[in-house]
């Protein structure tokens, strides 16, 4: 009887174990359903998968605080150790043009505070004793930027971001402000972590280094040679020389050949000593003695 009881218990445990394995292993129909759900989930667009969707997310978030304008700047580090910088903003074109025309970047107090700021700050904390800063803030208020705040984000590898929300006057309640700062920080971190992979896939800046052939053409050009003379000297066609000059201007970011020479000298891609053309070969005179 005892042996039979043990066999019955073992059989019961084996049956329960088999039933558990049957329940834990999904059927083919369940696998198809789960795969279909994953495909549908992958087809759902991310709110940060494009510039337009990112702009909508930022607009909705800024309006949740009763503010009309936003400016998000992101700096991401490439594997090649260079940085890509992108800005998302809905500031008015009139203000952007005036900001550039008046060279406000030199006196912008928000940019000055961002260099050392590790915590959020509101615009009412800006020192207005400087008359230029005061005029700048008055001009910004005239264009709808009455008040605002900025939340900086710094990473240890040099990457950074800062989100500025502006518009009407902010609340004066300290607790409400810090709650607003905390929500903005979380939102900014989500935006940064979502947009960073997209930014790193952007093409890098074009190379500004001249090729050897382009450098030779510029050197001969600044020595006073024309296109045809350069072509004869280098054994090229005149069209090839013109194309090399055009590509050199594109690489150096200039619009004329003279500017290309100046930029190449400024970036030390051309040695100033090469400005002096090489001396001409000596002329040899052959005197033949005449017999009488």
Closest CA to 228 of 249, 211, 245, 212: 245
Higher confidence at residue 57 or residue 50?
57
pLDDT(218) > 80: yes
Alpha helices per DSSP H over the chain: 2-24, 28-43, 51-63, 93-101, 109-114, 131-142, 174-200, 212-222, 227-234, 238-252, 257-266
Query: Above 70 in pLDDT, residue 101?
Result: yes
Please give the Cα distance from 4 to 8 (Å, whole number): 6
pLDDT for 104: 92
Report the pLDDT value the prediction gives residue 281, as an integer from 0 to 100: 60
Q: What is the pLDDT of residue 51?
A: 81
Q: Please spell the DSSP secondary structure of 12-76, one letter per residue.
A: HHHHHHHHHHHHHSPPHHHHHHHHHHHHHHHHSPPTTSSHHHHHHHHHHHHHTTTEEEEEEEEEE
Question: What's the confidence (pLDDT) of residue 282?
Answer: 64
Tell me the percentage of the chain whose pLDDT exceeds 70.
76
pLDDT value at residue 144: 93
Report the mean per-residue pLDDT for the chain: 80
Give the pLDDT band (50/70/90) at residue 205: low
> Residue 59 has what pLDDT?
94
Give yes or no for residue 216 having a pLDDT over 70: yes
Position 85 scores a pLDDT of 87
Q: What is the mean pLDDT of residues 34-51?
A: 56
Query: Residue 65 has which token pair?
Result: 């605080």
pLDDT at residue 95 in the model = 94
């Amino acid at each position: 009887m005892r042996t039979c009881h043990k066999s019955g218990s073992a059989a019961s445990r084996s049956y329960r174990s088999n039933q558990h394995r049957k329940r834990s292993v999904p059927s083919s129909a369940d696998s198809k359903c789960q795969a279909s759900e994953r495909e549908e989930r992958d087809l759902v667009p991310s709110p940060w998968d494009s510039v337009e969707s990112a702009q909508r997310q930022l607009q909705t978030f800024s309006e949740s605080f009763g503010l009309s304008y936003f400016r998000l700047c992101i700096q991401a580090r490439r594997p090649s150790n260079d940085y890509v910088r992108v800005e998302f903003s809905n500031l008015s074109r009139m203000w952007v043009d005036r900001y550039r025309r008046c060279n406000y970047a030199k006196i912008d107090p928000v940019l000055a505070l961002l260099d050392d700021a590790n915590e959020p700050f509101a615009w009412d904390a800006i020192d207005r004793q400087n008359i230029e800063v005061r005029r700048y803030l008055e001009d910004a208020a005239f264009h709808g930027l009455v008040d605002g705040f900025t939340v900086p984000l710094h990473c240890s590898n040099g990457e950074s971001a800062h989100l500025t929300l502006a518009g009407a006057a902010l609340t004066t309640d300290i607790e409400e402000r810090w709650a607003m700062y905390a929500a903005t920080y979380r939102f900014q971190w989500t935006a940064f972590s979502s947009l960073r992979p997209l930014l790193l896939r952007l093409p890098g800046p074009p190379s500004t280094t001249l090729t050897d052939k382009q450098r030779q053409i510029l050197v001969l050009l600044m020595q006073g040679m024309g296109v045809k003379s350069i072509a004869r000297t280098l054994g090229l066609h005149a069209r090839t020389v013109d194309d090399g000059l055009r590509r050199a201007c594109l690489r150096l970011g200039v619009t004329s050949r003279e500017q290309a020479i100046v930029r190449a000298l400024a970036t030390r891609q051309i040695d100033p000593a090469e400005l002096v053309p090489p001396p001409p070969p000596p002329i040899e005179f052959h005197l033949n003695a005449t017999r009488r």
